[in-house]
Amino acid sequence: MTILVTGATGVVGRRVVAELLQAERHVRALTRNPASAALPGQVEVCEGDLENLESLRAALVGVERLYLFPVAQTAAEVVALAVESGVRRIVDLSGAGADDEAFEGGYHVSERAVEASGLDWTHVRPGEFAGNWLDWAPSIRAERLVRRPYGGAVTQPTHEADVAAVAAAVLLQDGHEGHTYTFAGPEALTIAQQVEAIGTALGERVRLEEQDPVTARDQWIADGYPAGVVDWLFGMWAESARDHDPFNEGWAAVVPRLTGRQGRTFAEWAVENVAAFR
């Protein structure tokens, strides 16, 4: 059985490849630049792009199961090509906010295309990635400082390795057809506590400078974040900072239930990625 992993050199895709290799499966990896993929030698690396359909035809030959990286503009066409090529199961990477209108142009588009395919499908919807903190690595390196609004907002950071483990589990196991798995990390932490965890990993204090939300919104949009997504995030954080959203035990239970392993904590993620902040 051949499993095609798209987005195979990304932060999740690379880990999906590793999980499948550990399970001793034949993995074909799709990447735009095979020369720089740096994937294990036993991986069959193919050049291709989800927005260039002709580049996918060869990669899909003989593929039974597909891990689909989020693709909006060509989602329906990619899925149709998978059906034509004989793919039987698609596991798509989505997000916990997929039902929200702010993400209508991305996750939801891919999900609808997959559901309409007639194939076995499973949606993998992680919450906020712990890896989003790498966006603040430059200011932490330079000033030991994080500038963000809503320091009291509570989130459940999700380790990318856990996202990959869930995706690999539902690719390999039967019984997940037609399911949507929304999940998050094993603990609820304020933004301030997450900053503190990074400081603990560094062995140095990292300060949080809480920004005015209006100023921060303007800056995020100027930095290229879509206004709809910024407003969705800021609205969620503002509500959480006021009411301190409770720990979502149901979301936290998904990783151990599907993988047989406890979800990784944010402190573990910070230690593993400490070089980025040093």
What pLDDT is recorded for position 130? 96
Mean pLDDT of 115-123: 96
Residue 176: inside a domain, yes or no?
no
Q: What is the mean pLDDT of residues 18-39?
A: 95
Residues 192 and 237 reside in one and the same domain = yes
- Mean pLDDT, rounded, for 130-137: 95
- State the pLDDT at residue 245: 67
Answer whether 120's CB lies under 8 Å from 90's CB: yes
Query: Is the confidence at residue 7, as pLDDT, over 70?
Result: yes
Which of the listed residues 109, 125, 141 is the one where a domain comes to its end? 125
Question: What per-residue confidence (pLDDT) applies to 72?
Answer: 78
Instruction: Say yes or no: 155 and 225 in one domain.
Output: yes
Predicted local confidence at residue 41, as pLDDT: 93
Residue at 42 is within a domain = yes
Does residue 178 fall inside a structural domain? no
120 and 8 in a common domain: yes
**Are 56 and 148 part of one and the same domain?**
no
Residues 197 and 234 in one domain: yes
- Indicate the residue among 100, 125, 150 that finishes a domain: 125
Using the predicted structure, report yes or no on whether residue 43 has a pLDDT greater than 70.
yes
Q: What is the pLDDT of residues 64-90, one digit of tens each?
A: 999 999 887 899 999 999 999 999 999
The residue-averaged pLDDT of 130-142 equals: 96
Domain match, 24 and 111 both: yes
Question: What is the reported pLDDT for 196?
Answer: 97
146-178 residue pLDDT tens: 999 999 999 999 999 999 999 999 999 999 999
What does pLDDT average to over the chain?
93
Shared domain for 45 and 97, answered yes or no, is yes
Question: In this structure, are 205 and 218 located in the same domain?
Answer: yes
Tell me: the pLDDT tens digits for 188-235?
Answer: 999 999 999 999 999 999 999 999 999 999 999 998 888 888 898 898
- Does 8 reside within a domain? yes
Residue 96: inside a domain, yes or no?
yes
- The pLDDT, as a whole number, for residue 145 is 97
Asked whether residue 146 falls in the same domain as residue 108, the answer is: no
Residue 134 lies in a domain: yes
For position 239, what pLDDT does the model report?
A: 87
Query: Based on the structure, what is the number of domains in the chain?
Result: 2
pLDDT digits (tens, 9 = 90+) for 253-268: 999 999 999 999 999 9
Quote the domain boundaries for residue 30: 2-125
Q: What is the pLDDT of residue 107?
A: 83
* CATH at 192: 3.40.50.720
- Domain identity same for 131 and 242: yes
pLDDT at position 102 is 56
What pLDDT sits at residue 256?
98
Give the pLDDT band (50/70/90) at residue 240.
confident
Residues 26 and 120 grouped into a single domain: yes
Residue 171 lies in a domain: no
Same domain, 144 and 85: no
In a domain, 164, yes or no: no
